Amino acid sequence: MFTARMPGFSTAHEKTGITPEEYWQLKKINGGPQDPGIQFYWSRSGGVEPTRLLKNGFPSDVKSGGHAVLYVLKDVLSAQEAIQNHLCLASQHVGRKEERQRKNQQPKPHKDPRVAVLDGGRRRWWDAMLGDFVPMHTLYIPQGCDWNKCAFCPIPQAITEYEKLFFNGLRVPDAEIVSLFSQILTHMIDTHPKVHTLCLFNAGSFLSDVSNPPLVREQIIELVCQTPNLSRLIIETNANDVTVKNMHALCSQLGGANIDLTVRIGVETQNQTLRLKYLKKGQTDKALRKAVHTIHMHGALAGGYVLLNPAPFSNIRALLDAPEESDERLLLWAEEEAVKSLDFVLSESLHGLGMDEAYFCSTNVGPGTLLTEAWKQGDFRPAPLRMVYSVLRQGIAKYGTRIHLLPFKDERGFLAVPSNHMPQGIAQDLKNAVGCDMKFHNMLNRYRETMNPFVLVVPSCTCNIQY
């Protein structure tokens, strides 16, 4: 429902004698309202005709004869969708001059390419404690992952490429790691002074004594503690590396600088066999529970990644002992499984891990992984967009903004991301999107940007008639 006021209408039309009802029904040649204001709403609402409810207008506008109107849109859903699309496009629109100004104002990347690629950039992030968006910056540390087994993960491959490009294929020496980090951190402070939350991603193993030896970790955190105005640090780690000893060391350092900590863990699924045997995560339920307990004991927040449809069809057939099951039925199983996994991560029940937030994403096809091979052979496909929507919707209904929807984007580019129309998925840049794919991706982007469930209005399309 929205209001369209016509202040002074009565006075202005004393001579013409036209009534508001007659006036707003005057049509242009294209069939739309003649009045530019009403035309605006009409066109942006996808051509929805207004209905007048408040016959006598607003009390505040009695001087004009009460000729303000209150409309209710007859087709609320399509109107809302059209208006949202318009606002989304308008918010992304910038004129040429503004575009030039914005480009000139954009911070320049670090001049050393070895350092520049460690800058993951800035974005808005929903802070669960504040209940608001905060500026977040991501920095990478090229340390690699000593686990390096997860079937779907392209990160170890990315580190190998970094080492080949800049260090003759050798592991980056510890002293160099600290120096590179110091340079990119200084660059971030110079170019983005107001960082509330800093994500430090070193291939998911920040607390590993192998990938990130304690002395190096201490030096990195020492530098982090000198970042002006920083309120929260986010790290990723394997549950097996969360020990009282390393959490105590980390939290003591951060506490001295008044910086809060969030520890993210790749839970991925509630199904332990799937997690251990097929995804090769190496983290048992018991290890996850212990890690969450240790994180909470130190006053930090715990968050868990959850993946929709993370394994090839052949793996799921073996897991379910269902060799004849169709791909479609297995995708439906994956949808239910992802909903249960969000419960597992967030629920305080005996079954749940009681983590503070969840990072939900469809499993996209990253380059150089076991999953890529399965995808090429038709044994894997990203879950359709409508399943991403369905899991998200069910999760939000229970846990609200504790669930973050991660972008379907990777620095090196995913080979395939969800589509409603292309079973094998579409390119990360959506250039081969078809049917309602673009609208669906826009809708999910709007949710990421607003964390407002009311923007989740499914675009109408023949492919999702059941919604």
Residue nearest to ligand SF4 (CB): 204
* Binding-residue pattern over the window 103 to 122 for ligand SF4, x denoting contact by CB under 6 A: --------------------
SS3 of residue 102 by DSSP: helix
442: exposed, middle or buried (Cβ count in 10 Å: 0-12, 13-18, 19+): buried
In the set 82, 83, 118, 150, which binds ligand SF4 (CB under 6 A)? 150
CB of 131 to ligand SF4, least distance (A): 29
The one segment of 108-116, 146-154, 169-177, 352-360 that binds ligand SF4 by CB under 6 A: 146-154
Q: Which residues contact 227 (CB under 8 A, 6 or more apart)?
A: 185, 188, 189, 195, 198
CB of 280 to ligand SF4, least distance (A): 8
In the set 19, 25, 39, 148, which binds ligand SF4 (CB under 6 A)? 148
* Binding-residue pattern over the window 226 to 265 for ligand SF4, x denoting contact by CB under 6 A: ------------x---------------------------
Nearer to ligand SF4, 109 or 368 (CB): 368
CB of 243 to ligand SF4, least distance (A): 17
CB of 211 to ligand SF4, least distance (A): 9
Interface with ligand SF4, residue 57, by CB under 6 A: no
Q: Which residues contact 295 (CB under 8 A, 6 or more apart)?
A: 242, 247, 263, 301, 302
CB of 83 to ligand SF4, least distance (A): 40
SS3 of residue 3 by DSSP: strand
Nearer to ligand SF4, 365 or 433 (CB): 365
Nearest to 359 by CA among 369, 372, 373, 345: 345
Interface with ligand SF4, residue 463, by CB under 6 A: no
Nearer to ligand SF4, 150 or 455 (CB): 150
Strands 197-201 and 232-236: parallel
Largest pairwise CA distance in the chain = 86
H-helix or E-strand spanning residue 405:
strand 403-405
CB of 24 to ligand SF4, least distance (A): 58
Nearer to ligand SF4, 85 or 143 (CB): 143
CB of 127 to ligand SF4, least distance (A): 24
CB of 206 to ligand SF4, least distance (A): 11
Q: How many CB atoms lie within 10 A of CB 214?
A: 13
Q: Rounded to an integer, what distance in angstroms lies between the CA atom of residue 428 and that of residue 436? A: 16
Nearer to ligand SF4, 69 or 155 (CB): 155
Pair of tokens at residue 122: 């800035």
Site for ligand SF4 in 188-217 (CB under 6 A): 203-204
* Binding-residue pattern over the window 262 to 291 for ligand SF4, x denoting contact by CB under 6 A: ----x-------------------------
Q: Which residues pair with 236 in a beta bridge?
A: 264
Q: Rounded to an integer, what distance in angstroms lies between the CA atom of residue 42 and that of residue 402? A: 36
Q: Rounded to an integer, what distance in angstroms lies between the CA atom of residue 458 and that of residue 460? A: 6
Q: Rounded to an integer, what distance in angstroms lies between the CA atom of residue 365 and that of residue 427? A: 10
Pair of tokens at residue 415: 């080979």
